[in-house]
Each structure stands twice: as structure tokens, then as C-alpha cells.
Amino acid sequence: MEIPFKYRTSLIKHRGDVRGVKALDNDKIVSCSRDNYAILWTQNVEDPLTFDAETNFAGHSNYVSCVEYLKPSEYYPEGAIITGCNDNTIRIYTETSNLPVSVLKGHQDSISCLSTSPNGLIISGSWDCTVKVWRNSNAIASFTAHQSAVWSVKFIEFENGSLLLASGSADKTIKLWRITLPKEDDLTGSVSNASLVRTLQGHTDCVRSLVTYDRERLISASNDGSLRVWNVNTGACIAQFLGHSNYVYSMALSLDRNLLASSGEDGTARIWPGQLLVIKEEGKAFCYQWSMSENNWAKVGEVVGSQGSKKKMYQGKEYDFVFDVDFDPNRPAVKLPFNRNQDPWVVAQDFILKYDLPQDYLETIFQYIQKNAGLEKTSHSFRSAGPSDPYTGDSRYLMDTDASWSRSYFPATTLVPMDNVNMAALTTKLKTLNEQLTPKLDKDLIDNQIAKLNRKSVESDVEKITSAVLSIFPSWPIEHQLPLLDILRFTVLWKSSCQLVFLTCWPTILQSSLKCGELPQKNCLLVLRLLCNSIENVKKLALEQGELQPLKQIFESTHDVLEMALRGCFQLDKADSKMMQVALATLFHNLVVLGSDTDTVKTLSHKVPSLRALSGLCVRFSFLQLRAVYLDASKNGIEAIAYAHPEAIFRNLVTLGTGLTTISQDKMDRVSLLTDLLAASDKIQTPEPGSNLFASQWEQARNSIAFWASNESLLAKSRECASAILKALD
């Protein structure tokens, strides 16, 4: 019969994306995250379906990239939890201590992978292209044959004092190593005999994961979308498994070794059951796998041979390239498939239409395709084989500009919506709460309208949804209002719904978020997104209908948001803050677009005088936010900017540039504005132009911007925008 796999539970505590998970036994799990922590989870005795966070392993100075468990051994009688960190070190913990008992130093770059042997050895791989073997906290071997980052290491066997291990790399190869260990009493001695046994070649992209099936078979997974089985003794590839449509990141074997699980960029986890056989048919070798559900042998693929297509699969079709494009920090990366025989202009335009992107992205997307598909003479390839983090690194394309293509980043004239809503997840949560709370939303409204809500929905239907949500909003507890706020921040994109929100329920919404004593961060985040999305329609209501109240309410709320942000009321530190950073930056970006619209300001400012001060307000926010990160980096090192979302940085720079150039055409006026802001922030007397204090304040202000212009770790568009701001000031 078919083996069922069902959702069991969620382990919720990490504040950043989870990078690794390891089971210690049936009732203990350890996880690691970009939030700089590893957590030990223990099964709840009273509720075996759940796990409780027992220990937070601290001490990491950067994100934790991998975690491994070392079973009890001579050196660690109680066993040990091992973490690899982006700060180039390995830390060893016991289950009962949240601080490391040992820190292993020797790698020159981020630790990307770990493995252990039954006799207590630790194997590590790093972006520095090396593999190291550790015994009792001492490095006893180091291998340097890989040409790019090492993404996976795996122990294979230990016999007669000799260790066999494997490493997989971004250089597309797998290498087998054998070492003879020094004597047990020689804790710092070097390896007496170490050699590269062989190199396994066949993958056409980075090797991401390795699994030891048994002493003779090794399984690998790659960015080329395939899994391969290798004969360790001969180096031959026994079989290739295809099914994933994109990168395969990780694999795991069941305890009985009858099930292999793999997961990848295509959003799926795939289970490969049964034993493997290779059978020759008409001169070709095919791999068969025992299917427990069908009770027979099923053909799963041809053994790697002479054909070896380099095509990539996407939605059932083969392409020469399938690019990852990340144009919105609130959405996962999307795929851009391309064949060399296609017109890149047509593909770029189709991509814009499919994802409803601004038309001015067309040339950027075209140049990206042209460059990375090799359609022009260039020394650059699509993706470097060097160290690349698939979650934040070069393998995910951030909508950027080519260095040779100059563009004007400010003044900004286009509003940025925050309209990405996971309606399926929202609807599920809403249904659950709707069963528990009163008053209730109509079930048909949830199933037939809210669940189907999208940017193409009819305005009258959206208004009906908004009215229903607003009618129950005041009665639901603050801690349960999230799905309602998520709906409202989307429906304000329609003018009639926007009017309803601000004229009927805005004070209540504020009391549940920005004016709530405990300041619920998630509610505040959604209200900030609501403000971002409402600006266009609030302007229309004022210009077309003379309805000024929503505009005044937004200005009043903006002043509150600014002061709260500068007082540190929002959680803007560490990894869990990045969505809040983007929401705040987007809000003031959209406000400066409104404030720099001279026609709107001229028409409305006599009725809403605060409109004239809007650009200055936005300059204050963006400059002080950028300066705060700059000061943090100056004090704590450049890695501090890792906690700043790159898109938030870019939008703050655009806001600053737009505000400065809108307020005045005179460079001296712009300089004076920044020095005044700096003086107010430092609580000192406003300096007189030409004074020594003025020169000192200007130097500090300029350094705060020059930092972003010269920092190579930033997006190119951020550096270019910062450089353009300096030109507008110097």
C-alpha cells in the first residue's frame, strides 16, 4: 500500500529563514537559522504531535548556515550539536548549554556544510573552497582541490584508521578523499597520508547535497535538477533521477534506507521509494525502482550516458535557460524561461505582462536576458560557479541595472504598491477564526469572493468585501485582526473601498495598531502596507471629489509613524525586521512621490497646508534611517548592513534624492537641510553656514551618503543612486 505523508506540526520560534534541520533521535530536533541562533526542539510529552523549543544556542556573530549532530564519542561522551556559521567558524554545544563549549577556527569564509563520523570526527566544507577534518577541536586535515565553494560533505566509511569522505562543490564535481589519521595521542599532528581518490563528473551545475546510501553507493543532488547515484569504487554514475523542475537543494534517507527524500527550488519535496536496479535494454542502461504502491519495478530513468541534455525543465517544457527573477521583496523569486531561438524583446515584454510589472522594466529585463544567455559578447556568465547563496546571493536576480546602462533614479514619479497577498493562506486562517469568533463573516462571502480576490476583481464586489470586514473589525480581538487587516490593505487599492476605510473605521484601525499601547508589530506592519497602498486613491478622492479627510488622516498618521520610527518603537533590528523596514521605506517613498507632484501640491496645499512640508518629512526619515545603518556599520563592522533589507536601502535612497531635488534647486539649500537634520538629531545648535561647525556637520552628513555610494556589497542600483545624490549636493 502507498505510504501516506501528512502534515504534522510547525515549529515556530526562529525570526529568520531556517537554513538547516537535523534529527537527534525520534523526539529531538535541532534547527538553525539566519536569525543567528540554533534551537533544540523536544517532543511535548503531553502532546506528542508538537515540539517545544528547549534550548537557544547563542554566540553566533552572523547567520547559522548548517547544523549537525555528533553522536556520543570519546571526545564528546554526551554527544554534541555542531553549527557552521557565516562568520567562518564552527561551534560545538552540548544539549544542556546554550553557549559553545568549543569554537573551531581555520576556514577563511562561510561554513556551508558539516558531517560527522561514528568515531567522533567532524568534516566541514566552506565557501573558501576547502574541506577540513577536525578531531577534538583540532584541524587534522585540509583539502584544497575544489575550484569553487564546497556545498556538501559526507562521511562514507572508517576502516583500519582510514577515513573515506566525499565533497560536492559549486565547481560541478564530487571528490572522494581518503586519509590515514594520526595516532590518537597525537591530537595536533598532521595527517600522515591523505589523497584524492577520484573526481566524479556528470552534473552540469553546482552539486548541492550528498547522501551515503551504503559503502558502495553515493547519491548527489544538483542545481541541474537531477539526482545521481554513483558507484564509490569505480566512480561510475549508476543512475540519474529526473523529476524536479529546478535546483535540488537537499536530500535525506529514511532510517530503513528504503525512502529517499529530496527538496528543491520548484517548491516540492519528492519521495523516491524502493531499491534500485540497473538493467540493459537494447544497448542502453535503464534504472528501475521498486514501487511499494504498485508492487512492481518501475522504470524511473535512463542511466547517464552519451545523451545528457543540458536543457532545463519548466512547467513541462525544455528551455536553454530558466532564470530566477526577484522583483519584489514580499514575493518569492519567479521563473523566466528562455530559449536561444526566441526574441529576447518579446520574452521580456511577455514577462512584464504576465507579472503586471512597470513598462520601464522592459529594457532592464531585455539586457539581463541578453547578457546572461550569452547573446552579446561578454566575459560574464549567467551564474558564477563561485560561492553563491541561493537565498540571497547572485543566483537570485534582483531587479537591477547593468553598470553600463545609466538611468535616473530620482525624482521618483511612480508609486510602489505592496499588494502581494497569499489569499489561500489568508482564507484558511480567516475561516478558522470565523468559526471561533463573533460576529462572523458570511461563509459564502469568504468562499466565493474573498478567496478569489485579485487585482482584476470588480470594484463593487471589492466594496462589498470591505464593508463586511469593517463591520466586524471593531468586535474581533486585536490579536485576531491580522487577516482582516491583510484584506483591507489590499482592498484600499480600489477607490470606493479606500474611502470606506478612512471615513468609517480609521480611528479604530489605529487603536488596533499604531495607537495601541502594546504596539502589536504585525498589525502595525499591515497598517503601514495599507497606508502605502492607499496614497493613490486618497489623492484621487481629494482631487476628484473634494474629499480631504483621508488625505489629512494619512498626514497625521505619517507624522506619528515618523516619530515612532525615530524613537525605536518598531522592531528594526536583526533579521525579523526586514519586512517592517521595507514597509516603512515604501511608505515614505510613496509619500515623497505625492509630495513632489507639483500640480497636486499647488491644487491642494491651500486646503491641506501640511502637503507643502511632505517632501521635507520624507527627507528626514530616509536620511536618518540611512545614517543609522551607516553608524551601526561604522561601529560594529560592515556585516551590520546584512540586517538592512537591500530594497529598503534603495527606496530610502530614492526617497532622499527625490525629496532633496524637489525641495530646492539650490545645492546649498540641500546641504543646509541635511546639516540641520543632523544637528537636530544630535541635539546640538543649528550651525551657521560657513562656520566650522557647519563644515563638520556637512562632512558627517556627506559621509553618511558616500558610504552607500562606495559599498560593493550593495545592489548596483543603490550605489548608483547614492552617487547621484552626492552629485546633487557637491
Q: Are residues 388 and 412 in the same domain?
A: no
| Stretch (H or E) spanning 423 | helix 423-436
| Domain assignment of residue 488, given as a range | 408-570
The verdict on residue 580 lying in a domain is: no
Of 552, 570, 588, which marks where a domain is finished? Answer: 570
227 has a pLDDT exceeding 60: yes
Greatest Cα pair distance in the chain? 90
Question: How many domains does the chain contain in total?
Answer: 3
Report the CATH number that the domain containing residue 1 is assigned in CATH: 2.40.10
617 has a pLDDT exceeding 50: yes
The verdict on residue 153 lying in a domain is: no
Q: Are residues 532 and 459 in the same domain?
A: yes
Q: Are residues 465 and 342 in the same domain?
A: no
679 has a pLDDT exceeding 50: yes
Which is higher by pLDDT, 690 or 324?
324
- pLDDT, tens digit, for every residue of 717-729? 888 899 999 888 8
Q: What is the mean pLDDT of the chain?
A: 81
- pLDDT, tens digit, for every residue of 156-215? 987 777 889 999 998 899 999 988 876 654 544 455 567 889 999 989 889 999 999 888
Report the CATH number that the domain containing residue 370 is assigned in CATH: 3.10.20.870
How far are the Cα atoms of 165, 495, 511 from residue 472, in angstroms, in the given order? 61, 21, 15
* 453/563 Cα distance (integer angstroms): 35
Q: Are residues 385 and 332 in the same domain?
A: yes
Q: What is the reported pLDDT for 108?
A: 92
Q: Are residues 338 and 434 in the same domain?
A: no
Q: Are residues 423 and 345 in the same domain?
A: no
Give me the sheet containing 138-143, strands edge to edge: 111-116, 122-126, 131-135, 138-143
Q: Is 259 exposed, middle or buried (0-12, 13-18, 19+ CB in 10 A)?
A: middle
3-state secondary structure 167-204: EEECCCCEEEEEEECCCCCCCCCCCCEEEEEEEECCCC
* 89/121 Cα distance (integer angstroms): 16
Q: Are residues 393 and 443 in the same domain?
A: no
The verdict on residue 39 lying in a domain is: yes
Of 339, 372, 398, which marks where a domain is finished? Answer: 398
Nearest CA among 311, 397, 308, 381 for reference residue 148:
381
Q: Which residues pair with 104 in a beta bridge?
A: 90
Q: Which residues pair with 260 in a beta bridge?
A: 253, 272
Of 105, 132, 154, which marks where a domain is finished? Answer: 105
- pLDDT, tens digit, for every residue of 27-79? 899 999 988 899 999 988 777 778 888 888 988 988 899 999 998 887 788 88
The verdict on residue 484 lying in a domain is: yes
Q: How confident is the model at residue 273 (pLDDT cuts 50, 70, 90)?
A: low
Q: Is the peptide bond before 358 cis (omega within 30 degrees of 0)?
A: no
The verdict on residue 631 lying in a domain is: no
Q: Are residues 413 and 538 in the same domain?
A: yes
* 529/519 Cα distance (integer angstroms): 16
The verdict on residue 254 lying in a domain is: no
Nearest-5° Cα angle at 624, 620 to 629: 155
Q: Are residues 394 and 419 in the same domain?
A: no
Nearest CA among 116, 129, 18 for reference residue 76:
116
The verdict on residue 640 lying in a domain is: no
The set of residues, in sequence order, having a beta carbon less than 8 Å from that of 230 and lying 6+ positions away, is: 174, 200, 217, 218, 219, 220, 236, 237, 238
Q: Are residues 422 and 550 in the same domain?
A: yes
Q: Which of 246-255, 412-421, 568-577, 658-667 has the lowest mean pLDDT?
A: 568-577
Q: Are residues 417 and 566 in the same domain?
A: yes
Quote the pTM value: 0.50
Q: Are residues 379 and 478 in the same domain?
A: no
The verdict on residue 59 lying in a domain is: yes
Q: How confident is the model at residue 677 (pLDDT cuts 50, 70, 90)?
A: confident
**140-154, 370-384, 667-681: range with highest mean pLDDT:** 140-154
